[in-house]
Structure 1
């Protein structure tokens, strides 16, 4: 967790200790220390953070769970407070070319658990027909003049290292909307340094552009590959990067 100074529960508070810990944890959820949708640290970490027992943390989480503020699945507990996830400054949004410049464009993104396209499987080092998490994205204007489609396949390394991505396997039905805008931020938080390589080429004459992005970590292990196709004669593909100042 970003905050390292331990909280001291108020001595005059007549609530049970787990109730006070639940309130302190709720404060951290509300102030963005743990952004909406993020996985909470484990019970051991929370117990050390608040200087209480793991049983007290367990009771506090149960209290928040009953209030609908925390949900738990087989991969841990997650904050469910409403609000837009906080994005790390300078981290590009996923997928690349995230939407048309036209503010009227409507986006839709879903995930499936299936065998990726053969060329993706080769790039990611996956055996033929081995399923993985596949993300499909579509952005279109109401008049249909600007259309962007993207297909992303994630590697076994990405799913093993990035818990937030692995969580989507259980809901990869191809119908449930999937919010993966922070995928690159999740990778960085998992300790992965990202190397992006983008190849751009024209397809179907001059009316469409295909961008293929390959992302590797610091060990040259493939993390994901995305194919984005922009169908628009007047649309503009914009890449924006933020680099920190030296020193």
Structure 2
């Protein structure tokens, strides 16, 4: 009898819960949320993410391991999907100024479906009081002194055309961890050419600066706006660059 894998069948209500979770996890592995070779989140995190028990997650991972889609060693579980390696990001990481999971920094990121901060709605052409996907990022150096905080709001265009972003709407409760570091690569894979405009200004009376990033596509449609506040000592600077769509 031929072996079947989660992607051979659509999700149905009658199948075991662990198989449905395996199918959902496989979908996130395939869309690049967790690139091949990178460690998967722990069982506890996955259980919270999919709102199931850790035992269900354990069974789903075992199923993916059996089908050669996940491997586990002393460092944890890793995606081992076949195919070419994930391309090296051609654009800067998301959000601007992010420092992800290094020994010298502690980071946290969440997403929520809510009304964007003042100024963001106008920049994104979002109607007043209309909610959208809002991403919040926080980072501190190991000694806790160097802080970085960023708030990003996405436009309706970004959510409609970038499948990976749109999927976050139903689970954007503002509490769970959010992995959006490949957001710009997702946009490029969706055929969008990214035009970044970053404005950096000193915050009067503080040792910090504010970086405001606005991203448009090749049709001048707004995709996202980010406000980053970080410790620095420099004057205002504005620069622009364009990242072509993925071929």
TM range (shorter): 0.5 to 0.7
CA 117–66 in structure 1, closer or farther in 2 if over 3 Å, else same:
closer
Which residue of structure 1 aligns with residue 140 of structure 2?
Answer: 140
CA 101–186 in structure 1, closer or farther in 2 if over 3 Å, else same:
closer
CA distance in 2, matches of 1:66, 1:96: 33
Moved more, 218-227 or 199-208: 199-208
Asked whether the 8 Å contact 1:134–1:154 carries over to 2, the reply is yes
Unaligned 5+ runs, structure 2: 9-25, 33-59, 72-76, 80-84
Asked whether the 8 Å contact 1:88–1:185 carries over to 2, the reply is no
Which residue of structure 2 aligns with residue 186 of structure 1?
Answer: 186
Aligned pair partner of 2:2 in 3, 16, 23: 16
Q: What's the TM-score, normalizing by structure 1?
A: 0.63
Query: Shift in Å at residue 90 of structure 1?
Result: 2.1
Asked whether the 8 Å contact 2:216–2:222 carries over to 1, the reply is yes
Query: Shift in Å at residue 86 of structure 1?
Result: 3.6
Which residue of structure 2 aligns with residue 225 of structure 1?
Answer: 225
CA distance in 2, matches of 1:207, 1:133: 30
What is the number of residues matched between the two proteins? 181
Query: Shift in Å at residue 35 of structure 1?
Result: 9.4
Aligned pair partner of 1:83 in 49, 71, 78: 78
Q: Which runs of 4+ in 1 moved over 6 A?
A: none
Which residue of structure 1 aligns with residue 113 of structure 2?
Answer: 113
Q: What's the TM-score, normalizing by structure 2?
A: 0.63
CA 80–134 in structure 1, closer or farther in 2 if over 3 Å, else same:
farther
SS in 1 for 2:104: coil
Unaligned 5+ runs, structure 1: 1-14, 23-33, 41-64, 71-78
**Is 1:69 aligned with 2:61?**
no
CA distance in 2, matches of 1:153, 1:178: 14
Query: Shift in Å at residue 134 of structure 1?
Result: 0.1
Query: Shift in Å at residue 130 of structure 1?
Result: 0.2
Q: What do residues 189-228 of structure 1 show as CA deviations (whole Å, max 9, x unaligned)?
A: 0111100000010003350010000000010000000000
Which residue of structure 1 aligns with residue 170 of structure 2?
Answer: 170
Aligned pair partner of 2:29 in 37, 53, 56: 37
CA 118–80 in structure 1, closer or farther in 2 if over 3 Å, else same:
farther
Which residue of structure 2 aligns with residue 97 of structure 1?
Answer: 97
Asked whether the 8 Å contact 2:140–2:148 carries over to 1, the reply is yes
Query: Shift in Å at residue 145 of structure 1?
Result: 1.3
- The structure with the largest alpha-carbon Rg is 1
CA 215–181 in structure 1, closer or farther in 2 if over 3 Å, else same:
same
